[in-house]
DNA sequence: CAGAATCCGATGCGATACTG
DNA sequence: CAGTATCGCATCGGATTCTG
């Protein structure tokens, strides 16, 4: 009764879809930005500070991509000095919810994964010197 | 992506947690692999074929990382020819569920995003020639 | 069958300097 | 304040070849 041979083709579609999604989010910062932008309109500099470590260049590039994907809305106030605010679209807000689900998973399994790393590295530390 | 070492102990924000999660999954193929591996034990070659387009090298690298993260279990049957099967761990299975949530989001908003792309590109095609 | 090893181009990302 | 432009390294990822 072992169903060893499984038709995976049905899953390929899902896989590609998810890959397409996460490709927009795969960078080092996109997710953080999406989550940080969830608190309402956020200014460029606010993001820059809350994303500790990001370069200005990368922040800009990621914001542009998220905007192009229709996940983020960019509003320029024609004042001096300039004031630009970023807001999640409905679409982006939904994505953010899903990402927060992943966040929950991370909280539950963070320690487990760290332990798995150690175990793996210890086991695969086969040096010729040993 | 393996260069993104995130210090989970120091960072407590949701953004970093999710980033930590998706860093393990951020590659071009990891997600597809996790989803494809959901149907039970899958052999190396099965994955290779179902992941149309992946190179052998990348499949191996991704499998190794997922295994190291404790998401995937690698079982080697000492036969000739060799037979290696990959199975999701409980941890990985949970992650897969969350990824399927993202898949749902992708299905709902795929067209919207494509439209956003067109709109953005059209609007930002400001050439000096126009 | 299931990799490992090597080469190489494409891309990600940071650092720095300049601007309206 | 909110970017843009340029440089340069590190890593990603594909193609190919070799192996137990």
Which residues sit opposite A77 in a β-bridge? A83
The predicted-structure confidence for A17-59, as pLDDT tens digits, reads as follows: 666 766 778 778 888 899 899 988 999 999 999 888 899 999 9
Interchain proximity B112–A91, CB inside 8 Å: yes
Of residues A77 and A112, the one with the higher pLDDT is A77
Which of A94-103, B1-10, B11-20 shows the lowest mean pLDDT across its residues? Answer: B1-10
The predicted-structure confidence for A119-129, as pLDDT tens digits, reads as follows: 998 988 754 44
CA B32 to chain centre: 5
Residues contacting A68, CB < 8 A, separation 6+: B116, B117, B120, B121
Across the interface, which of B40, B91, B101 has its CB nearest the CB of A98?
B101
Chain B residues 3 to 62 whose Cβ lies within 7 Å of strand C are 43-46, 56-57, 60
**Of B56, B4, B59, residue with least CA distance to B32:** B59
**Of A28, A27, A62, A26, residue with least CA distance to A44:** A62
List domains and CATH numbers for chain B: 3-123 (1.10.10.10)
Of residues B8 and A42, the one with the higher pLDDT is A42
Instruction: For residue B100, name the pLDDT band (cuts at 50, 70, 90).
Output: confident
Rg from Cα positions in chain B: 19
The H or E element that residue A73 is part of is: strand A72-77
Interchain proximity A11–B39, CB inside 8 Å: yes
Interchain proximity B19–A6, CB inside 8 Å: no
Give the model's pLDDT for residue B19.
66
What is the per-residue DSSP string for B40-99?
Answer: S-EEHHHHHHHTTT--HHHHHHHHHHHHHTTSEEEEEE--SS-EEEEEE-HHHHHHHHHH
Residues contacting B122, CB < 8 A, separation 6+: none
Give the model's pLDDT for residue B128.
46
**pTM value > 0.85:** no
Nearest CA in chain A to B97: A102
Is the per-residue pLDDT at B90 higher than 60? yes
Chain B residues 54 to 93 whose Cβ lies within 7 Å of strand C are 56-57, 60, 63-64, 74, 81-84
**Of B39, B59, B41, residue with least CA distance to B49:** B59
The predicted-structure confidence for B16-74, as pLDDT tens digits, reads as follows: 666 676 677 777 788 888 988 998 899 999 999 988 888 999 999 999 999 999 999 99
């Amino acid at each position: 009764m072992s169903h060893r041979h499984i038709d995976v083709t049905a899953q390929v579609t899902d896989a590609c879809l998810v890959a397409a999604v996460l490709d927009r989010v795969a960078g080092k910062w996109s997710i953080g930005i999406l989550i940080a932008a969830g608190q309402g309109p956020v200014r460029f500099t606010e993001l820059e500070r809350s994303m500790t470590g990001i370069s200005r260049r990368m922040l800009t590039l990621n914001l542009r991509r998220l905007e192009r994907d229709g996940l983020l809305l960019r509003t320029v106030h024609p004042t001096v000095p300039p004031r630009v605010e970023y807001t999640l679209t409905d679409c982006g807000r939904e994505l953010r919810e899903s990402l927060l689900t992943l966040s929950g998973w991370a909280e539950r399994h963070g320690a487990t994964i760290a332990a798995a790393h150690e175990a793996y590295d210890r086991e695969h530390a086969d040096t010729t010197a040993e």
